[in-house]
Structure 1
């Protein structure tokens, strides 16, 4: 390709990145000073990328393997990250929880697990209403720390564009710490396994002790055969978030010098929520133009025609790993809705990656006003997700959960039997309820059991430690 052709390709790639500005758009802040917001976006556009095109391309390959049934995806993290929560201890706790879950899932699936955090960018949240009223006072709804504050005051709730830049800097420090943890020996699978052994030996989790002991024997066998554990001290770890604030996502989009194509460098993986996935609106247009792997949330009202139109919009070339469907249908509805969608996909010949989000369809509010979820409902939705794929002969590609590494009480149930009284003493989330550390591990053991019902993948010889 000549230099002129390369320049033409680069101009063509960038030309449509602002087409979304002329389209209907939802869930955006009402900035009091729009010029100040635009100036902040211009500053962000000059800052270094958070992730690189080569990393994004590698993740797309990994997700393509998962879509083909040769890998499994674990995505987890806070419902909405907070700036105050971006401490070393809290980031380490979330990363360690995901690593612990991933080790169990790797054993259960007998295949690599793609590890991805809802981290380093999950600062914005869609809201059902633009305002919130308390005691006769109405203020803007809390849209996440990247937009406004949680405190119910006019000053706090007024959207502040400076928070966009603050969000970028918090994401930088978070991602820097994640990279240190996952490449500096913290992810050594022998150490990770020792954490899980303590969990499994708890009498409340006795049913998982056998699997923990089987993993222990497998590691001892690897040691006896001279396995290179130095190579297993590092893991690939990716980050993703909902691509909600398009001014921020546009500012973080770069034209790669190698491919001459646009990448949203705010994260490796971006997903579009149910509230913003209208086919003719801004979010779908913008993310159809970047090279990142894209996820789309599918709720219980999804029909076949809509699903197929999403595929045509976001993945017209049917590229492996490009498109992920994240189902969030609820324990009572997934068994009725998902099977039909899977059969339609088979008839169409497309192979998107399917991931279950068993959290968002199962929320309710207690009489005392706490938003919560029942662990049994979460497990039921996961089981029905796997059952639908088994019946259809398709691949259950992963799970997407809101979790924390802390000992909070936000979701009811689990082996520790979190009850409503506990919510009043250990509820910390500013948005949606999360699984705590123990509930997250319990879910991973349950999913590992489900994965053992599916044929093991043929993992390539010399497979890297994902």
Structure 2
């Protein structure tokens, strides 16, 4: 697959009819974090329409991603997964999507040469429109309204009308995801991500960075590789890192099940809203609706594991979601926090290794390191993010397992949402300058590249 999405030759799209009842078995068990839709009839009308719409991704693309993740599970590749905390409808513009893709391509090039492994690129994109919340309500100035749950459910503006859950937004999620995918497909097949071009972008970044000398050795290694290729008769300009996949949290189950299709090749079910879906820390109950839904689909599936996760929890999730032990099927994304990763993660890795399961281990260094700055902004310290990544590598190296990837909330622009960074440091006093996230704080473009270079250095230790 040279890019996301089907070509005109694709013949393996999942069919829309007949519906498979396994896509709806989640309705019989408790479902956490679901909106309280005020009009069930309107919800049914939207989901009925969604069941008839074309798939957003092809089943064969999901299978390709599973194969790539199997290589990660074997220690033969590395996963870079990143994008917005929560996409918004207003952010579906060529500039915003393009900046995110450019950032991920640049990071992937750095990590490829640092790790000496292929990098599997998966965006939190084209579907990440819903967010779980710790409270169902929010109070401001004595007024209490439903919490903002992402553009898939309601609006960010603090008014009764905006905060009312609207199932019509689920159709907008489909339309905006389709538009995003169209842009991604055009970008990945248009040659703008050629290897030499991406390295030129990284060289420009280092030239403008006061920390550029720190990473000069790695950039020099990449220069040498490109010169060697040209001297050998190979054309690096023809190498394009265009294989790119999409992912999102499968949170709003009415939407996910409406976009679940039977694959005409195999009769298996696929959630064709994205190539990969994950289950969050708040919804990973083994007997809950999200695990029940995910166990029936053939997409690669990930689960977030926080510091309260027990070894029994992890083993039960494996048994439920990957009973056939297929490499690439199941990814565990640890989100422990920098102060707990070295203590909490080893026991999980040891037990999973002992079980013989081949899961992909990925580090989410964002969610366990969130705090509130004095001015009230939620933020994260860059140093804590890097410390959790370092601890993740230390744990896996000590246990002889593969640190399989990183999962980041990031954007391609110069937002001021996370504190710190060695290239362009953001201070707590500057958080209000360009704090644009609808939910959680994201790394900006410079911080993302900084993180990639530092992670590449960890690989080379």
Question: With structure 1 as the length reference, what TM-score do the two structures score?
Answer: 0.93
In 1: Cα distance, 2:101 partner to 2:202 partner: 14
Distance 2:426 2:57 in 1: 38
Residues 13, 262 of structure 1: 8 Å contact kept? no
2:13 is matched with none
- Distance, in Å, in 2 between the alignment partners of 1:358 and 1:236 is 25
2:440 corresponds, among 432, 439, 442, to 432
Match of 1:61 among 67, 90, 94: 67
Please tell me whether residue 387 in structure 1 is matched to residue 368 in structure 2.
Answer: no
Instruction: Give the drift of 1:109.
Output: 1.1
Matches within 5 A, 1:49-448: 49-201=55-207, 202-229=209-236, 231-233=238-240, 235-415=242-422, 416-448=424-456
Residue of structure 1 in register with 2:11 after alignment: none
Aligned to 2:8: none
The reply to whether residue 46 of structure 1 matches residue 14 of structure 2 is: no
- Displacement of 1:234 after TM fit? 5.0
For structure 2, which runs of at least 5 residues remain unmatched after alignment?
1-15
Aligned to 1:203, the other structure's residue is in SS state coil
Query: 2:458 — aligned with what?
Result: 450
Structure 2 Cα separation of the partners of residues 13 and 40 of structure 1: 16
Preserved contact between residue 305 and residue 335 of structure 2 (Cα < 8 Å): yes
List structure 1 segments (4+ residues) > 6 angstroms apart after TM superposition: 10-13
Q: Distance in 1 between matches of 2:28 and 2:340?
A: 36
* Cα RMSD (Å): 1.4
CA distance 1:269–1:229, change in 2 (3 Å): same
Paired residues of 2:194 and 2:238 also in contact (CA < 8 A): no
TM-superposed deviation, 1:73: 0.3
Alpha-carbon deviation of 1:13?
9.6
Label 1:150 to 1:12 Cα distance change in 2 as closer, same or farther (>3 A). closer
C-alpha change, 1:124 and 1:237, in structure 2 (3 Å) is same
Do the aligned residues in 1 keep the contact of 2:197 with 2:237 (CA within 8 Å)?
Answer: no
Instruction: Say if 1:114 and 1:139 are closer, same or farther in 2 by CA, change over 3 A.
Output: same
Q: What secondary structure does 1:312 align onto?
A: helix
Q: Which moved more, 1:13-22 or 1:124-133?
A: 13-22
Q: What are the superposed Cα offsets for residues 315-364 of structure 1, whole Å, 9 maximum, x if unpaired?
A: 00000100000000000001001111111122111110000000000000
Deviations 1:298-324 (A, max 9, x none): 000111111100000000000010000
Q: Distance in 2 between matches of 1:11 and 1:373?
A: 46
Residue 228 of structure 1: CA displacement?
Answer: 3.9
**Could you tell me how far 1:86 is from its partner in structure 2?**
0.7
Specify whether residues 440 and 341 from structure 1 end up closer, same or farther in structure 2 by C-alpha distance, changes over 3 A only.
same
- Consecutive unaligned residues of structure 1, counting only runs of 5 or more, are 1-9, 454-466
Matched residues, number: 444
Over 3 Å counting, the alpha-carbon distance change for 1:307 and 1:185 in structure 2 is: same
Q: Is the 8 A contact 1:185 1:233 kept in 2?
A: yes
